[in-house]
Structure 1
Amino acid sequence: MFIERSMTRKVVTIGPEAGLLEAREAMKTHGIPSLPVVGEDGVLLGIVTDRDLRSALPSGLLTPEEARREHERMAAVQVKDLMTRDPVTVAPVHTLQDALILILRAHVGTLPVVDEHRRVIGIISLRDMLRAFEEVLGLNEPGTLLCVLADEHPGQMKRIVDAVTEEGIRLGSVLVARDWERDKRAFFPYLFTNNTIRIKRRLEALGFTLLNPLDWYLKPFRAGP
């Protein structure tokens, strides 16, 4: 899925000459953790985050006089003094997978979306991506997530999908992960039903092992040293 379909298009931005207190108020008013910093032509210059602001804010342990002096100092600080210049960005034709990898590597929560001239046309956040993945995987409809363990052989997913289809169950999605054990795969079909007794029995009869998805995730932690 392309970022253009999932990004937030109404982006709150700020200019480089704006004050620190103005940036803090904008984040508070709009409930956002960062602000792209743009020039008059809309070209991205940098980004300022709530973390940047917190690092510049005075300590709560200051005396009233010290707090007053710090407030005056903050009033003189401009966004350009704190912003991260040339931040990591994405284009609208990038995929959600591209954005997720960049966010994890850059240790950030949001990415500005820019056009070929580096003008800001949107912003993509982890919340936007979770919402998009929820839609793609069909998780916004009531259903049941199964965890099916299988040997790592070709055709295993087809066997699972065929069994689900032959039971007349609608399939929302199937995620696949390498299991904690060697030569095993974990399949996570999301079924649009809460009545899973028959399909579980059928899958077990086919030689698959079924686990609670949470138990699978916690398996290495419960194994101990």
Structure 2
Amino acid sequence: MTPRRRKRVLREDERALWEHVSRSVAPLRPRPALPAKPETPPPEEPAPPAETEGRAPKGPVLHPRKRPLAPAAPPPPPLTKIEPKVRRKLNRGADVDARLDLHGLTQAAAHRRLHLFIMDAQAAGHSLVLVITGKGDSEGLGLGLGLGWLRGGEAGRGVLRRAVPQWLSDHALRPYVVGFENAARHHGGEGALYVRIRRRRERS
């Protein structure tokens, strides 16, 4: 059995020589250089919050709902003339369904009486009525009736003759009145009016 050789310890001069030689010798296969570790970027600081003073908060903006406008009322039906066939019958002496005589009434009383008469005529199913206004000349409208017959400083003779057509054309009576014309001579002529009453189902 071969005895194990003891490991020889180098002297100081031999160790210095060996280190000098090993530094001057280039290796046959150079060791691959290790990749440098990427530098980690510093964490980003959060941006400071924007100034909100004087600004509306974020989120959906709620606008107040606009109320829908109420539908406009339909215009009153237009007035038309009395049918020629009906007019011919009246001229030949045909009678009317009802009549109203406004003689001797003040304007306020005549206006109120006319409204009630027209509405009652429609409710009763009448189609043609007679409204007597008076001509306002030789008949006279009655003295001593107070200041109700004065209009613009002018004497009130014939006031109803001018006012009744305006009242019949007013929007308050248009749903009840189809049209009106001066009456035939035997019904009063220019001092009276034929008034055509609108049927109830025709008001819509």
Q: TM-score surpassing 0.5?
A: no
Whose relative contact order is higher, 1 or 2, with alpha carbons under 8 Å and at least 6 apart?
A: 2
Structure showing the higher strand proportion among its residues:
1
Q: TM-score, normalised by structure 2?
A: 0.19
Q: TM-score, normalised by structure 1?
A: 0.18
Structure showing the higher helix proportion among its residues:
1
| CA radius of gyration, larger in | 2
